[in-house]
Amino acid sequence: MPWNSRNVGTTWAIDEDGIDQVGCVHTSQGLEFDYTGIIVGKDLQFNSKTNKYFTPWDEYKDFKGKQGLNQKPDELNKLVRNIYRILLTRGMKGCYVYFMDKETERYFRSRIE
């Protein structure tokens, strides 16, 4: 699916032509949907041995967003966790979530059971 397609632009979520679009945090923030689908990438992982989240530098793809955080892994992880918090709270009736990292998925499942 197109990601924030230039054909529709930032109004993808309310434009009839945007029905098959995928949005990022920048174009979803402040909007509410009946349902959302979130793909949690490998930029948010959970280590069950340390009981902490972490963000591998190479897995977070927003180069401008991570600028200056190369030597600040805790700040990068805080940024990524906040992005997912925003995305996970956009669905008013429900949210479907897919995890790329299965250890993170297991942790999430254990917290909601």
pLDDT digits (tens, 9 = 90+) for 51-93: 999 999 999 999 998 999 999 999 999 999 999 999 999 999 9
Sorted by sequence, the CB contacts under 8 Å of residue 106 that are 6+ apart come out as 48
Length of the chain: 113
**Closest by Cα among 42, 26, 11 to 83:** 26
Cα dist from 48 to 3, 54, 109, whole Å:
32, 11, 13
Q: Which residues of 16-31 are buried (b: 16+ CB within 10 A; e: fewer)?
A: eebeebebeeebbeee
> Rounded distance, CA 55 to CA 59, Å?
7
Q: Please state whether the predicted TM-score (pTM) of the whole model is above 0.85.
A: yes
Residue 89, H or E segment? none
Q: Tell me if 98 sits within 8 A of 40, measured CB to CB.
A: yes
> For residue 16, what pLDDT is reported?
84
Q: Which residue has the higher pLDDT, 4 or 12?
A: 12
> For residue 4, what pLDDT is reported?
67
List the single range of 9-18, 84-93, 99-108 with lowest mean pLDDT: 9-18
List the chain domain ranges: 1-31, 33-112
- The mean per-residue pLDDT over the stretch 33-57 comes to 95
